[in-house]
Amino acid sequence: MRVELLYFDGCPNWTVADERLAQAIQKSERTDITVTRRTVESAEEAEADGFTGSPTVRIDGHDPFAIGNEQVGLACRVYATPDGLDGSPTVDQFIEALS
């Protein structure tokens, strides 16, 4: 399984997502996951890549957290979690997406 964590340096939420993703991988006990972290550095790059905010997580090329109204661009992204809006999916949401 290939997981990409896309982010831009102006948004601090990607580090939270990175930590939660690592916890989810550890808890899932999967050994077939490769994580790639990639910085999106310009609006042009965001547009070309379909970057829908920081952090964006893609699993095998698919964004499992997309709800359809995300906008492309260099902005911090928010996620619906059981506790309300957050800058990252929860560990449990990552575990579900990885299963």
Cα–Cα distance between 42 and 45 in angstroms, integer? 5
Cα–Cα distance between 36 and 38 in angstroms, integer? 6
Q: In which domain, by residue range, is 92 found?
A: 2-98
The pLDDT of residue 70: 79
Q: What is the CATH number of the domain that holds 45?
A: 3.40.30
Cα–Cα distance between 31 and 8 in angstroms, integer? 28
Number of structural domains, the chain?
1
pLDDT, tens digit, for every residue of 38-94? Answer: 999 999 999 999 999 999 999 999 999 998 877 888 999 999 999 999 999 999 999
pTM metric for this prediction? 0.90
Cα–Cα distance between 32 and 91 in angstroms, integer? 18
